[in-house]
Amino acid sequence: MTPTTHVTSDPDGAPASQPVNPPRAFSVFSAAELKTALKKMYLIRRFEEAAEEAYQRGLTYGTMHLSIGQEASAVGACLPLGPSDYITSTHRGHGHCIAKGADPKLMFAEFSGKETGYCHGRGGSMHIADVENGNLGANGIVAGGIPIAVGAALSIKKRGLPNVALSFFGDGAANEGAFHEALNIASIWKLPVIFVCENNKYAMSTSIERALSVKNVADRAVAYSMPGVIVDGNSVIDMADAVMAAMDRAHAGLGPTLIESKTYRLRGHSRSDRNRYRTREEIESWAARDPIGRFEGDLIAHGLATAADCIAIREAAEAEIAAAVQFSNDSPLPSVDHLLSDVYTPVEAKP
Amino acid sequence: MTAPLSATTGALPVDPTATRELSFAEALREALGQALEADERVFLMGEDIAIYGGAFQVTLGLLERFGHDRVMDTPISELGSAGVAVGAALAGSRPILEFQFQDFATLAMEQIVNQAAKIRFMFGGKCSVPVVFRAPTGSGTGGAAQHSQSLEAWYAHVPGLKVVQPSNPYDAKGLLLAALDDPDPVMFFEHKLLYKVKGHVPEAPYRVPIGKAAIARPGTHLTIVASAIMVSRSLEAAKELAEKGIDVEVIDLRTLRPLDTETIIASVKKTTRLMCVYEGVKTLGIGAEISAMIAESDAFDYLDAPILRLGGAESPIPYSPILEKAAVPQVADIVAAAERLAKKRV
């Protein structure tokens, strides 16, 4: 197979190429599943807004990296995954966690440093994980999760399991050595791993134009003999279709795929961001391509949901996040007595 | 033990239970082979470990027995390979990654220090990362500055890691099998000069517990705390010192993290003098930690002389053999330092 870059649609460039076939996601997923996907998008949006509100009210401690505007990328990529498929995530990971099925209550408690959080307050915003449900964790190190996903895929292959590992990372991570080493290893060993680069145009303040030697991150796939697929990351359906194609390839033993999700973060990098590196016009132009409204439009156009359904879904998500915030507020802080208890696994010595 | 001579050859028959000897490298190979046999989750990764058998031949012959799926040559990608090992461990496998030299593991510090060591803690104790990272360490082979370092103190500074450094073939096998049983990441450091050293190694699998030091030689006048090649050098020095009337107790740390403080404290209380001998650079090294630990313990009141550290020079490891030898403690240095210490009084 000759590796090529497939452009399904490119929100930055020329008009998107027309898909030959109707999107597969509409035939694979039921209306109920697609409405659950919409709910997850609203959960992510409201979770991030609640985190931001907590910051504005002076109630947060550490930093946070909000994914408002990138909901379709997380939800669309995770839509085809099952609980036994793995993901690795990033510092901007709240959305990936919710998309993979995490409980916002336990997430908000973790974000707030409470004992009831996913990591009992040890990890915080950047380290939320749910290993039992296949989420190998957000990661505070750029590109840190990429080789870990390759390792999970190696374990899957060794055990003959029908699963995949999917690694989310940003455009900045594509310039780390770990990205290149991981893609090479995944390719030579033909591992069932899917690399999802969420290209939101900026590694903190540094634009891809100033930091990336290629026009698209997906162009680098050629160097590792795998397909490089550019997807409109603000489309749930396009993301789900691209991941399903990558899963087919992985299940067939053909190895990894690099998917570049072109998207945009509408908020700053973190709470210290003053937006000195981009224009208001640019931000507003992307706000106009809001992925949630777009997915609602898709669902209504295909007769899978009504406008009233969408409002009900949004309200249900808002209520769920309000309950998550309340749960977190009502939760106890961790006990200082247990500071050291999770550094090592308790072991019983063998003779 | 006496055994009848063979009627035909005149040679002593081999009694494998009592006199079975293996080199340090063979002992490690036997442990790896037994682990691969016992647990199908176990696999080996590393640069040139399969066909080539490893730079120091530790994995020689394992490819033929277990195949490429269990004994995997990796590309020269230390960071990527370490991450793959971490991910495989998280997903239920039991990887053992060999770094060709400890110096090269510096390329993988991100995965070792930020990921492997912290994942269990960061995730609230909900998972473990059972990975073993093996690496040859130390000078004495003409490897010069980038193939000879002793950076074990770096790793011992990181909560979440365990750091093991055997000094003889028996411990090499027993500690490696213990490291493989361990649910947490273990750094397993093998001094290059020990690979060919022979010693008694039982064939059946056994474990030497991680975190427990050994008294390699009991003594009464002063305590030397050492690990890896410095144990045999200290034992050799102890022989010379015994002839001079100085009875040295040599403690083999075996594990740098967790440190067996109890054994060291008990020994210092008995001998009242402490000397730390280590190949890593002296300043901020393992000897600094042991000295401070004793200074903070109730053994401090027993000291009859200031604690003495004999560590590596404050320089990279040089190439020329005369310089290379001068950069790390040798037997004569240990003898001279111990003589000074034995005469000193607080």
Check CB contact under 8 Å for B182 and A347.
yes
Nearest C-alpha in B relative to A140 = B114
Cβ pair A141:B110 closer than 8 A: yes
* Domains delineated in chain B: 16-200 (3.40.50.970), 214-343 (3.40.50.920)
SS3 B255: strand
Contact (Cβ atoms closer than 8 angstroms) between residue A94 and residue A51:
yes
In A, which residues are within 8 Å of B182 by CB distance? 347
Q: What is the mean pLDDT of each run of 10 residues along chain B (346 residues)?
A: 42 59 98 98 98 97 98 98 98 98 98 98 97 98 96 98 98 98 98 98 98 98 98 98 98 98 98 98 97 98 98 98 98 98 87
The answer to whether the Cβ–Cβ distance between A342 and B81 falls below 8 Å is no
CB within 8 Å: A146 and B83: yes
Q: Say yes or no for a CB contact (<8 Å) between B91 and A150.
A: no
Contact check, Cβ <8 Å, B80/A344: no
Q: For chains A and B, count residue pairs whose Cβ atoms are closer than 8 Å.
A: 159
A165 contacts in B (CB within 8 Å)?
Answer: 87, 91
CA atoms within 13 A on the CB side of B47: 17
Of A86, A147, A344, the CB nearest to B83: A147
CA distance B236 to B196: 17
Query: Could you tell me the two tokens for B32?
Result: 């790896």
The region, left, alpha or beta by phi > 0 then psi within -120 to 50, assigned to residue B138 is left
HSE at residue B199, side-chain half, CA atoms within 13 A, is: 18
Q: Which has the closest alpha carbon to A40: A288, A295, A327, A302?
A: A295
Burial group, residue B202, by CB count within 10 angstroms (0-12, 13-18, 19+):
middle
Q: How far is A60 from chain B (nearest CA, A)?
A: 19
Distance from CA of B85 to the nearest CA of A (A): 6
- One-character DSSP codes across A159-206: TT-S--EEEEEETGGGGSHHHHHHHHHHHHTT-SEEEEEEE-SEETTE
Please state, in angstroms and rounded to a whole number, the distance separating the CA atoms of residues A73 and A289: 13
To the nearest whole angstrom, how far is the Cα of B128 from the nearest Cα of chain A?
Answer: 7
Q: pLDDT 10s per residue in chain A (351 long)?
A: 444 445 544 444 444 444 547 899 999 999 999 999 999 999 999 999 999 999 889 888 888 899 999 999 999 999 999 999 999 999 999 999 999 999 999 999 999 999 999 999 999 999 999 999 999 999 999 999 999 999 999 999 999 999 999 999 999 999 999 999 999 999 999 999 999 999 999 999 999 999 999 999 999 999 999 999 999 999 999 999 999 999 999 999 999 999 999 999 999 888 788 889 999 999 999 999 999 999 999 999 999 999 999 999 999 999 999 999 999 999 999 999 999 999 999 976 554
| Residues B69, A282: Cα–Cα separation, whole Å | 50
CB < 8 Å to A142, chain B: none
- SS3 call for A228: strand
Number of Cβ within 10 Å of residue A29's Cβ equals 20
Of B211, B158, B157, the C-alpha closest to B181 is: B211
Nearest by CB to residue B122, choosing from A123, A147, A184, is A123
What pLDDT sits at residue B45? Answer: 98
- Order of strands, sheet of B162-164, starting from the edge strand that comes earlier in the sequence: B71-73, B42-46, B94-98, B132-137, B186-191, B162-164, B255-257
Is the C-alpha dihedral spanning B266, B267, B271, B275 positive or negative? negative
Instruction: State the smallest CA–CA distance between residue B133 and chain A in angstroms.
Output: 15
Instruction: State the Cα–Cα distance between residues B274 and B3, nearest whole angstrom.
Output: 44
CATH architecture of A5-14+24-330: 3-Layer(aba) Sandwich (3.40)
Q: Which residue(s) pair with B249 in the sheet?
A: B223
Written as one string, the DSSP assignment of B37-50 is HH-TTEEEEETT-S
Handedness of CA A102, A103, A104, A109 (dihedral sign): negative
Active-site residue (options: B78, B190, B279, B324) = B78
Catalytic (active site) residue B47: no
Tell me the C-alpha distance between A162 and A251, whole Å.
7
Find out whether B92 and B39 touch, Cβ atoms under 8 Å.
no
Residue B209 near chain A (CB below 8 Å):
yes
- The pLDDT value recorded for residue B18 is 66
- Tell me what pLDDT residue A306 has: 97
Q: Which residue of B has its CA nearest to A137?
A: B123
User: Which residues on chain B are in Cβ contact (under 8 Å) with A156?
Assistant: 91
The Cβ of residue A343 has, within 10 Å, a number of other Cβ atoms equal to 16
Asked if residue B213 lies in contact with residue B175, where contact means CB atoms within 8 angstroms, the answer is no
The answer to whether A287 and A69 are in contact (CB under 8 A) is yes
Handedness of CA B163, B167, B171, B176 (dihedral sign): positive
User: In the block, which residue shows the tokens 């990181």?
Assistant: B158
Catalytic option among B30, B47, B147, B221: B147
Annotated catalytic, B147?
yes
Residues B172-204: tens digit of each pLDDT: 999 999 999 999 999 999 999 999 999 999 999
Do residues B119 and B86 make contact, with C-beta atoms less than 8 angstroms apart?
yes
Q: Are strands A206-207 and A202-203 parallel, antiparallel or unpaired?
A: antiparallel
Record: contact A177-B184, CB cut-off 8 A: no
Instruction: Please say whether the beta carbons of A81 and A136 come within 8 A.
Output: no
- Beta strand B132-137 with B94-98: parallel, antiparallel or unpaired? parallel
Q: How far apart, in whole angstroms, are the C-alpha atoms of residue B264 and residue B290?
A: 8
Q: With both helix axes pointing from N to C terminus, report the angle between A145-158 and A177-188 in degrees, rounded to the nearest 10.
A: 20
Give residues 42 to 71 of B whose Cβ lies within 8 Å of A: 43, 69
